[in-house]
Structure 1
Amino acid sequence: MKKAAIYARKSKLTEKGDSIDNQIKLCIGYLANIGIDDYIIYKDEGFSGKNTDRPKFLEMLKGAREKKFDLLICYKLDRISRNVADFSTLVSELELLGISFISVNEQFDTSNAMGRAMMLICSVFSQLERETISVRVRDNMYALAEKGNWLGGEIPMGFKSERVSFTDEGGKERSYCILSPVEHELKIIQEIYSLYLELGSLSKVEKYLLTHNIKTRRGKDWSKNTLSYILSNPAYVKADNSIIKHFKNKGLSVRGTPNGINGILIYNKKIGKNGGYRNVEDWLYVISHHEGIIDSKKWLSTQKQLAANRSKAPNIGTSHSALLSGLIRCAKCESYMRVAYGQFNAKIDKKRFYYMCSLKHNSGKTRCANRNINGLDLDAAAIEKLKELSINKDLLIKYVENYKQNLLNSDANKEIQAITNSITQNKAMISNLITNVSMTSEQTTAKIFMDRITELTKENTMLQEKLTTLKEKLSKEENKTVNYDNLIAKLKHITDFVDSCDIDEKRKLISSVINKVFADGDTGNITLQLKG
């Protein structure tokens, strides 16, 4: 007796018509007509057909591979997928597994060649429909961008998103989002611009902010990268003709009329949600609704100073002598330790070097006071520690057993997976809701969709922050299944060869087994954190 799998999908949770229950009822009726009353039901509600990243669809596919059913039936082809490649791949895999596919509405059956061909043709039109909707959504987004509306994403520090409502010519209520000021944050931004022009370097501004314990919006310490982004962001400038000329000289254009009041937003920077950045020439610069806070003369002077500093910045990021560069952390504050060079030493024919806490250096010793550590001494001590571990095999196994037991007792990995799944599902629902917004002209319905998008976006933001915290917690646990023999073999390899190889080979050997090194300059104690 054959067993069937019924798959049903609905994009919108509230949509009428071909509801989940109706789809299932029609499939059951079709199966009864061909003498099949044994079936499994898989249903996804609230998921788009643009891809197959749906929980019940994936469960159904797993069931097919485990031969839990003999045929797959759905109400319509586009319930499976609107993507031709996904649909074709599924049909091919089902054929290899010996599983037939039936579509009730189109009356197609893959048990014959004509049925397979007609289904692929129909799936082409399903994808065309989806891509047409996608183009419409993109065009609508561009139209909103051209008006300087805020379309979402990471809000610049100093602003928040605010919805504005209005009545159009047809008497319908409409709304859009703009940036509105957060005054206490904007004061910090203004101070950063003034400090940079006064002090002349990102390092000095960073030091000032660290010394005075001035934090970012998220309560983090400022970094030079974050400061550079703030200082080059046109969202803060009061755009006038001189600003337009500045961008024009760079081969860029700005949409909108400059008035010396409003700031500039940049759109079309990224390729998709998870893609990289587009070429700068493809970015869309638009004069926005929000007011800038930095006058054009000051902003342009800042850009000039940034460019000058970039051109003369020394290349001090790589050490050719330090073995532990990139691995070593301050035992007191856990900041990275940087390499600092002293006077030339004729005996060793090179400059002495030291490991220095970066937070201590950047804050002028106000945030950390860990003493500098002689680099040669610390490198030698780390190697001796590794040699000691390789010799004392029983001690090493004891350490690794304790680590593995602690890891097994942790539920962090399961929680990370659960949060990741929730974020993925929310993104799928957001994508579907955006499609629905583009297809409705009813303002009340559109507002319901937009409110739901806002809720899901906020939820994903909180989930992402929690996910980041959990991943940071597990960053010390890179190798979650420990291979004792492999680790011991690597340590033995270091013991045999580390004294005879060159600096680059030593660095590779050490980084192959060490995750981090924590050093205390006051006590001289060092702690090695091995990979796994």
Structure 2
Amino acid sequence: LKENNVDLFAERAEFDDEHGVMAYNRTLQRPGKANQIRPMEEWIVAVGKHPGIIAGSDWGRVQAMLDVNKSKSYRRPRSNAALLSGLLRCDECGDYMRPKLTNRKNADGELIYTYMCSTKERSHGTVCSMKNCNGNTLDAKIIKEIRKLSADRETLTRLLAQTKKVISGSKEGYDAELALLREKHTETEERIKRLVESLSVASDTSAKYVMEQIDELHRE
């Protein structure tokens, strides 16, 4: 856990091979979307009062195996390919669809790449089952539509002017809202940390209510 920069709210001696651990902020939960596993550096871990189920040594070995396997099949296309990289999102879970190179070639002799949901790739299809899409075909269609716009310069000029006006008028409001959200996020994280710390002295009854508060703050 330390190697992955996890926030630990327990002393080393409390990891006694008898009690299980509780990990908070492990998943990103959004209404109508599949839960997404957060990076481990965002986790908050405390020692629980319940007996452990899986030995820590076994868990560590499994994590090491997952680290070795998770990106074995991923090949990034060359830099001038994958027009929608960083823009295309999965319709099932909301994560980014990133380009993945195959060993196959199309009729023009170009290597075929697909856009694949990052959550699907990391979970080996257990969390998200979104189908991959042919990147070469999709990008070609996008380019075709852009060329249509460029041929109609009057429409393109009008659209660009409208977009510039909207962005300019909204930026100040967005910046203010973003500042408030960041401040609220920091306050919420501090509240979660204080609640996690209180679990070490909480009774079984009160611990239940503290955990409910923590879960609510995570959703917030």
With the length of structure 1 as denominator, give the TM-score of the two structures. Answer: 0.24
Higher relative contact order (CA 8 A, sep 6+): 2
Max Rg structure: 1
